[in-house]
Amino acid sequence: MRYIFSPTVFLYRLLVTELLCLLLVIMSSGWVSNLTFLFKKGIFMVVKRILSGMQPSGNPHLGNYLGAMRQHIEMQDKGDCLYFIANYHALTTLRDGAVLREKTRELAMDYLALGLDPNKVAFFVQSDVPEVTELAWILDTIAPMGLLERAHAWKDAKAKGKKGETAGLFNYPVLMAADILIYQSDIVPVGQDQKQHVEIARDLAGTFNSIYGETFKLPKPFIKKEVAVVPGTDGQKMSKSYGNVIEIFAPADVLKKQVFAIKTDSKGVNDPKDPATCIPYLLLALIVEEKEKLEFRTQLEEGGIGYAQLKTALFEKLLEYFGKAREKRFELENKLDFVEDVLKEGAKKARKVAKETMETVAKKVGLR
């Protein structure tokens, strides 16, 4: 029988051979790690865009780190991350330009010291992408008053009377929606208290899409369920507003003073103690390995360890846990040009996406 050459058949067989060779490579060298590599390269899945913003409200404390900052850094390898310093949002409470600039720069250094890699993420200052305020106004024109009046942050501020009842505070969720939507975000890591704001962003995106046609992605909140409430030195949730924080970059003498200010009861060294109500132990448990955690717990339950010893252990473990970050943070104090360059480069990446979104939005609403 005479063989007839077929280019189509030849290419098909070549493709099958290539796929089989790829499969053999994957199987021979550890299929999980290789598939993970291929996933990251975007061969088998679409990379999700992750967005989060942080207000420059002061020196970061242990609660900030465990509740949000560590999560941001861990997620930089899991998607296309855009992280910004929310200085527009900070204007609702901070009315000193020099202080805001200083706090913005300091927060940037804090994140870089803790391990945020500017080669993996777009790290920038919110106000360096002015398109976000343009989108916020457009969203304002379709945002129902009732939706904003039901926002927890607004209701809490009114009830507690801690913040002035300004239009900026009332519109806070709309600006946050603009932050999220302008970058076509898929995932927004937030605390439980911010979940409603992401839902408001979804509502506004859906309303805009229904009026003007498909434009925005519908973002989803990501809440890390296993993050425990970090107790402050007085037993309440650690918060700057309560004055009960332990600052991770404080000078050693200040850090020690904060640790030894932790409230405890009057039980003696040999008295059994309840780990569930012992604040020094609860904080230690958040930063030590499971074996060491169990050892401290056993000592408390059986007696034989005093609060001074426990606080000393906590102080030393904090210095150990954040040792490298504290050193890098000190180094960055002398590399402010580098920090500024990181933020400018991040803003370029973010603004490119924002401009594309705003060009589409402006055309759809009739502004272009």
Residues involved in catalysis: 158, 237, 240
- Per-residue tokens: 166: 């300004």
DSSP 178-235: HHHHHTT-SEEE--GGGHHHHHHHHHHHHHHHHHH-S-S---EEE--TTPPPPB-TTS
Q: What residues contact 354, with CB distance under 8 A and at least 6 apart?
A: 129, 131, 132, 182, 183
Half-sphere exposure of 130 (CA within 13 A, CB side): 0
- Supply the DSSP symbol for 366: T
Other Cβ atoms within 10 Å of 257 Cβ, number:
12
Output b/e per residue, 333-356; b: 16+ Cβ within 10 A.
Answer: eeeeeebeebbeebbebbbebbee
Ramachandran sector of residue 288 (left: φ over 0; alpha: ψ -120 to 50; beta: rest) = beta
Q: At what angle do helices 131-140 and 172-182 cross, to 10 degrees?
A: 120
> What residues contact residue 132 under an 8 Å CB cut-off, 6+ apart?
88, 126, 175, 178, 179, 182, 354
Please give the Cα distance from 42 to 40 (Å, whole number).
5
The pair of structure tokens assigned to 110 is 């804090």
Contact 226, 74 (CB under 8 A): no
Lookup result for tokens 């929606």: 177
Chain position carrying tokens 């002035």: 164
Nearest to 250 by CA among 238, 239, 258: 258
Q: Would you call 53 helix, strand, or coil by DSSP?
A: strand
